[in-house]
Amino acid sequence: MVRLIPGEKRRLLDASPSAQERWYINDHTLIRAADGRWHVFGIWHPEPADPLHEDLFLHASADDLDGATWTIHDPVLDARKDIGETHVWAPHVIAHDDRYWMFYAGGTEDHTRYRMELATSGDLFTWEHHPGGTLFEDGFDARDPMVIHDGERWLMYYTRTSAPEGGFHQVAVRTSDDLFAWSEPEVAYQSTVEGTYGGPTESPFVVRAGQGWLLFVCESTQYDRTLAYWSTDPMRFEDAGAVDLDLDEHCAEIITDPEAEGRCWVTGGGWGRGGLTIRPLGIEMP
């Protein structure tokens, strides 16, 4: 079985305007730009927690993840109130075809029909919404997209429930050949827990691990807890594949450095957490 070895946690970024005005960073994404600079995007809002009014994304950048000073840029992709977007959640950015692609959840008053949205950029500063509109809708509170290529097609993982009105908490997966048109959902992982808000399948993140795959999920019923599951099939994970790991991270992201083969980190954030943290993560295969 795969073995995961977390290192020492440290503060990565606190984007609060001042010691008196505290802001949190919740679900987030990091990407290394073509020029080598790291960029982070994430839910950004004044404390205390107010998830249904999180209406813009933080944008910050730094030369490295080893202690460089972060520059806070203008926020991006405000909620489009004119089309019924009440809040925006959980950006995930990938690089493809000399552009950057950001997938995120657009919240609405109808929690059974949350929208998965796409915006693209050539420089990570100026973003354009996909002219074709919403990629798809799903519920309950379908959110937290994460996109990876498995060598044949694109896979998008996100959290939802087994029925739009509520049910078993799931990680759903859809496939695409072009990042625009997505298949109907399949169930990549299903929890034994039922509900609507929150749940134990938040912030899904999938990475390759030897000849298989690792799925990380936020067990948000305990908030600061991330679990992992291993599988040979990126479309299906089971409780039997649970890895002996229990990270005290919320909304964890797994970061690999394209310039340093094998180097890996896990980041975390959340309400009342003072920004983002980071720690090394070793992945050992049997």
- Chain segment 95-135, per-residue pLDDT in tens: 999 999 999 999 999 999 999 999 999 999 999 999 999 99
Q: How far is CA 126 from each of CA 178, 250, 276, rounded to the nearest angstrom?
A: 22, 29, 24
Q: What is the DSSP string of 129-163?
A: E-TT--SEEETTT-EEEEEEE-SSSEEEEEEEESS
State the first-to-last Cα distance of the chain, in angstroms, to the nearest integer: 6
CA atoms within 13 Å, Cβ hemisphere of 168: 10
Q: Does residue 156 register a pLDDT over 70?
A: yes
Reported as a pLDDT band with limits 50, 70 and 90, residue 191 is very high
Q: What percent of the chain has pLDDT over 90?
A: 93
CA 144, 209, 250, 46 torsion: positive or negative? Answer: negative
- Number of separate helices (H) and strands (E) present in the chain: 0, 21
pLDDT, mean over the chain: 96
The pLDDT assigned to 260 comes to 67
As a whole number, mean pLDDT of residues 224-228 equals 96
Query: Homologous superfamily of 16-254 in CATH?
Result: Glycosyl hydrolase domain; family 43 (2.115.10.20)
The pLDDT tens digits of the residues spanning 73-102 come to 999 999 999 999 999 999 999 999 999 999
CB-neighbour burial class of residue 232 (10 A; exposed 0-12, middle 13-18, buried 19+): exposed
pTM of this prediction? 0.97
